[in-house]
A and B are shown apart, each in its own frame.
Chain A
Amino acid sequence: MITDSPRFEPFSPDPHAVISESGEWIAPFDLDLDDDTLRGMYRNLVLARLIDERLVRLQRLGKTSFVAPGAGHEGAQVGIAHAIEIGRDWLYPYYRDTGLVAAIGWPLEKLFGQMLATRADPARGRQMPAHPGSRALNVFTVASPIASHVPPAVGTALSQKIAGKGDVTVCTFGDGATSEGDWHAGVNFAGAQGAPIVFACENNRYAISVDLNHQTGSGGIAAKAHAYGMPGYLVDGMDVLACYYVMREVVANAREGLGPALVEMAVYRYGPHSSADDDSRYRPAEEVAAWRLRDPIARLRRFLERRSLWGDEAEEGLRSEIAGELDEAVAAAEAAGPQDVDTLFEDVFAELPAHLERQRERYRLARRAAGEDG
Chain B
Amino acid sequence: MRELTIKDAINEALHQAMEADPDVILMGEDIAGGGGRDEHPGAMDAWGGPFGVTQGLATRFGRDRVMDTTIAEAGFFGAAVGAAMTGLRPVVELMYVDFAGVAYDQLLNQAAKVRYMFGGKQRVPMVVRTVVGAGFRAGAEHSQTLYSLFTHVPGLKTVAPSSAADAKGLLLTAIQDDDPVVFFEHKRLYMTKEHVPEEAVPIPFGKAKIVRAGKDLTIVAIQRAVQFAQEAAEALAVLGIDVEIIDPRTYSPLDESAILTSVAKTGHVLIVDESYPRCGLATDIAALIADQGFDSLKGPVKRLTAPHTPVPFSPPLEDAYLPLAPKIVAAARALLRA
Contacts of A209 in B (CB 8 A): 30, 33-35, 46-47, 68
Q: Nearest Cβ in chain A — how far from B164, in angstroms? A: 22
Chain B 207-223 interface 0/1 with A at a Cβ cutoff of 8 Å (1 = within): 00000000000000000
The answer to whether A129 touches B98, judged by C-beta atoms less than 8 angstroms apart, is no
Q: In the assembly, what is the distance between CA of A198 and CA of B171, in Å?
A: 45
User: Nearest Cβ distance between residue A314 and chain B, in whole angstroms?
Assistant: 39
When A344-B320, A348-B308, A359-B307 are in contact, do A215 and B71 touch as well, CB less than 8 Å? yes
- Chain A residue nearest to B305 in the complex (CB): A359
Within 8 A of A (CB), among B292-308: 307-308
* Interface contact A356-B71, CB-CB below 8 Å: no
Given A126-B313, A339-B316, A348-B310, is A144 in contact with B68 using a C-beta cutoff of 8 Å? no
Chain B 84-98 interface residues, beta-carbon cutoff 8 Å to A = 96, 98
> B residues within 8 A CB of A127?
139-140, 313
| Any B CB within 8 A of the CB of A216 | yes
Measured between beta carbons, the chain A residues less than 8 angstroms from B330 are 366, 369-370
B321 touches A344 (CB 8 A): yes
* A211-B37, A215-B71, A339-B316 given; A355·B138 CB < 8 A: no
A-facing residues in B159-206 (Cβ within 8 Å): none
- Interface flag for B50 (CB, 8 Å): yes
Contacts of B129 in A (CB 8 A): none
Contact check, B313 vs A125: say whether CB atoms are below 8 A apart.
yes
Interface contact B317-A125, CB-CB below 8 Å: yes
Task: Tell me if B139 and A341 are in contact (CB < 8 A).
Answer: no
| Interface pairs (30), CB distance under 8 Å | A66-B137, A117-B313, A117-B317, A125-B314, A126-B140, A126-B314, A127-B313, A128-B142, A129-B139, A144-B140, A145-B141, A147-B71, A147-B102, A148-B101, A176-B70, A179-B72, A181-B72, A181-B75, A207-B29, A208-B29, A208-B30, A208-B47, A210-B30, A210-B68, A210-B70, A282-B34, A341-B317, A348-B308, A348-B309, A356-B309
B63, closest chain A residue (CB): A214
Check B79 for interface membership: any CB of A closer than 8 A: no
Decide yes or no whether B337 CB sits under 8 A from chain A: no
Q: A177 contacts the other chain (Cβ, under 8 Å)?
A: yes
User: Does B43 have its Cβ within 8 Å of any Cβ on chain A?
Assistant: yes
Q: Considering the chains assembled together, what is the distance between the CA atoms of A360 and B309 in angstroms?
A: 11
Is A338's CB within 8 Å of the partner chain B?
Answer: yes
Residue B36 interfacial (CB < 8 Å): yes
Most interface-central of A210, A281, A359 (chain B CB within 10 A): A210
Chain B nearest CB, measured from A156 CB (Å): 20
**Of A146, A182, A366, the contact of B327 (CB 8 Å cutoff):** A366
Closest to B35 in A: A214
Contact between chains at A214 and B68 (CB < 8 Å): yes
Given contacts A125-B312, A128-B138, A179-B70, 7 further A-B contacts (CB under 8 A): A65-B138, A128-B139, A144-B139, A148-B101, A209-B30, A283-B37, A338-B315
CB-CB nearest in chain A for B45: A281
Residues B74 and A181 in contact, CB atoms below 8 Å apart: yes
A283 touching B40 in the complex, CB below 8 Å, given contacts A179-B75, A181-B74: yes
The CA of A284 and the CA of B38, in the complex, are separated in Å by 11
* Cα distance A366–B330 in the bound complex, in angstroms: 8
Residues of A within 8 A of B62 (CB): none
Q: Mark B238-253, 1 if CB is under 8 A from A, else 0.
A: 0000000000000000
Q: Which residues of B contact A210 (CB under 8 A)?
A: 29-30, 33-35, 68, 70-71
Q: Tell me if B307 and A363 are in contact (CB < 8 A).
A: yes
* Cβ contact within 8 Å between A282 and B317: no
Residues of B within 8 A of A282 (CB): 33-34, 37, 40, 42-43, 46-47
The 6 residue pairs across chains A and B that have the minimum distance between CB atoms: A125-B314, A128-B139, A282-B34, A144-B141, A65-B137, A209-B33
Q: Which residues of A contact B50 (CB under 8 A)?
A: 276
Scan residues 112-142 of chain A and give those whose CB is less than 8 A from a CB of chain B. 117, 124-129, 131
What's the minimum C-beta distance from A355 to chain B, rounded to whole angstroms?
6
- Interface pair B46/A281, CB less than 8 Å apart: yes
Residue of A nearest to B44 (CB): A282
- Does B99 belong to the interface (CB within 8 Å)? yes
* Chain B residues within an 8 Å CB radius of A214: 35-36, 68, 70
A193 at the binding interface (Cβ < 8 Å):
no
A144 touches B98 (CB 8 A): yes
Q: A209-B33, A209-B34, A345-B309 are known contacts. Are A181 and B317 too (CB-CB below 8 A)?
A: no
Contact B317 A344 (CB under 8 A): yes
Chain A hits for B321, CB < 8 A? 344
For B51, the closest partner residue in chain A by CB is: A276
CA distance A213 to B43 in the complex (A): 15
A49 to chain B, nearest CB (A): 25
Whether B326 is near chain A, meaning CB under 8 Å from some CB there, is yes
Complex: how many Å from CA A31 to CA B40? 42
Is the beta-carbon distance between B36 and A211 smaller than 8 angstroms? yes
B98 touching A341 by the CB < 8 A rule? no
In chain B, positions 32-69 with a C-beta closer than 8 Å to chain A are: 33-37, 39-40, 42-43, 46-47, 50, 68
Give CA–CA (A66, B137) in the complex, Å. Answer: 8
- Chain B residues, CB < 8 A from A359: 307-308
CA distance A369 to B326 in the complex (A): 11
Contact with A along B310-335 (1 / 0, CB 8 A): 10111111001100001100100000
Asked if A143 is an interface residue, CB under 8 A from chain B, the answer is: yes
Measured between alpha carbons, how far is A284 from B74 in the docked complex, in Å? Answer: 31
- Cβ of B29 and Cβ of A145 under 8 Å apart? no
Residue of A nearest to B105 (CB): A181
Instruction: State whether the Cβ of B116 lies closer than 8 Å to any Cβ in chain A.
Output: no
Q: What residue in chain A is nearest B329 (Cβ atoms)?
A: A370
> Within 8 Å of chain B (Cβ to Cβ): is A180?
yes
Q: Which residues of B contact A281 (CB under 8 A)?
A: 33-34, 42-43, 46-47
CB-CB contacts below 8 Å: B122-143 with A: 136-142
**A20 CB within 8 Å of chain B:** no
B141 in contact with A128 (CB, 8 Å): yes
| A343 at interface by CB-CB < 8 Å | yes
Residues 331-357 of A contacting B (Cβ, < 8 Å):
338-339, 341, 343-345, 348, 355-356
